[in-house]
Chain A
């Protein structure tokens, strides 16, 4: 077997391994949404870490929730967005199952929402390969991992008024 074929095979294998969820996680395509868009079961076995979630919330390269939402005590984050609702008190207004559904795929809760689905891998129009502008092939890696979604939900659940 020529060397380039071997490396291609290896790349394919590692690609497969990457696409396969860890045993303890629910893959995006296997997530079960209730009728009104909520997700009862956690997506990962490990409980969400609110501190990690707070970091993902403001991290431009992962959650970047702050691009569209504001939380009044997040003075660490400059230029909070005004597209989505402010999230102060989100933990009072929403159950964890509702938060999980909204973060994973908000349009199942609010059909006209502008919010991207953070745990979704297919069903897109002209899906791209991240921010390259080139075509991507579905299933795409979700915007957040199952554990990151759980971390963000754990953080949002702490937002009480």
Chain B
């Protein structure tokens, strides 16, 4: 590089430019507004920007809901539960909650009564269980089904599982995300953090490349958010279906031209915890609408 500088002033300029470019690029575009999401004419108000959790010091000052990065038509669908296409699946999940199934002759409601008893659950998921294993909400649901109901486990990506996680999530709508990252959760959190900054696949992309360094920027017509998960399960217009966190993770790593991980894998549980912790403080939005 020194040789270039001596030989040619234009190339020297280029080298200076190169140095500037080699610094990690920070997003140039903060959200224009950080208005709250006002649902059902004011019945529910969800903040879209909150101070970043302490562990993100140096990366983010504020964490933002993905809702801010969507177009106004998509945003509007989340403002009224009758317009929100995810809500029909919440109703189906509630029906399932009350349906007796399995050898034990029980429904979810037999032990837990009304589904509103699940209030608060979504805000702390994923969570380390009594045996010290990190479990996602799907794991807790299947544990109840197989042990207490003596019914079959639900498929992680199946409609019934997604309906149930949606129905349970909505009970916590508005509560700030508050996943534990210390104590027994610490090693899982560290594993997830390591994954977040790992550049996977032939495109060599880490979660952080898009969602930390470049949120607010555009990849073609796609407006990059901070990749927060407080809106999951999401009704995704592109798939016209509810989408779980692990399904989205799987798609992201596939899109790096990488070998992805399986939904329900330990790796994705760890990543789910770490990503959730980046959004600690943002309200549970589930079921949100994205595209």
Asked if A26 is an interface residue, CB under 8 A from chain B, the answer is: no
- Shortest CB-to-CB span from B215 to chain A, Å, is 11
B→A interface (CB under 8 Å): 1, 4, 10-11, 13-14, 17-18, 21-25, 28-29, 198-205, 209-210, 213-214, 217-221, 250, 253-260
Considering only residues 50-75 of chain A, those with a C-beta below 8 Å from chain B are: 66-68
Residues of B near A112 (CB, < 8 A) are: 22-24
- Shortest CB-to-CB span from B246 to chain A, Å, is 13
- Shortest CB-to-CB span from B71 to chain A, Å, is 13
- Shortest CB-to-CB span from B41 to chain A, Å, is 34
- Shortest CB-to-CB span from B247 to chain A, Å, is 11
Residues of B near A133 (CB, < 8 A) are: 250, 253-254, 258-260
Chain A interface extent, by class: 35 or more
Residue contact A132 to B254, C-beta cutoff 8 Å: yes
Query: What residue in chain B is nearest A79 (Cβ atoms)?
Result: B221
Residues of B near A11 (CB, < 8 A) are: none
Considering only residues 96-131 of chain A, those with a C-beta below 8 Å from chain B are: 98, 107, 109-114, 116-117, 124-131
Give the secondary structure class of A's interface.
loop
Residue contact B1 to A93, C-beta cutoff 8 Å: no
Residue contact A135 to B214, C-beta cutoff 8 Å: no
Query: What residue in chain B is nearest A107 (Cβ atoms)?
Result: B204
Question: Which single member of A95, A98, A107, A130 contacts B257 (CB below 8 Å)?
Answer: A130
- Whole-angstrom distance between the alpha carbons of A95 and B258 in the complex? 32
10 smallest CB-CB distances across A and B, nearest first, come from A133-B254, A110-B22, A79-B221, A135-B259, A133-B260, A116-B203, A126-B259, A128-B258, A82-B217, A67-B220
- Whole-angstrom distance between the alpha carbons of A124 and B102 in the complex? 46
Question: Which single member of A82, A92, A113, A127 contacts B258 (CB below 8 Å)?
Answer: A127
Residue contact B221 to A78, C-beta cutoff 8 Å: yes
Residue contact B260 to A128, C-beta cutoff 8 Å: yes
Query: What residue in chain A is nearest B255 (Cβ atoms)?
Result: A131
A→B interface (CB under 8 Å): 35-36, 66-68, 78-83, 85, 92-95, 98, 107, 109-114, 116-117, 124-136, 140, 143
Question: Which single member of A110, A116, A135 contacts B204 (CB below 8 Å)?
Answer: A116
Residues of A near B256 (CB, < 8 A) are: 128
Residue contact B204 to A117, C-beta cutoff 8 Å: yes
**Assuming A83-B214, A112-B22, A128-B202, is B219 touching A67 (CB within 8 A)?**
yes
- Whole-angstrom distance between the alpha carbons of A124 and B258 in the complex? 9
Residue contact B14 to A98, C-beta cutoff 8 Å: yes
Residue contact B21 to A85, C-beta cutoff 8 Å: yes
Residue contact A111 to B202, C-beta cutoff 8 Å: no
Query: What residue in chain B is nearest A70 (Cβ atoms)?
Result: B218
Residues of A near B202 (CB, < 8 A) are: 116, 124, 127-128, 136, 140, 143
Residues of B near A116 (CB, < 8 A) are: 202-205
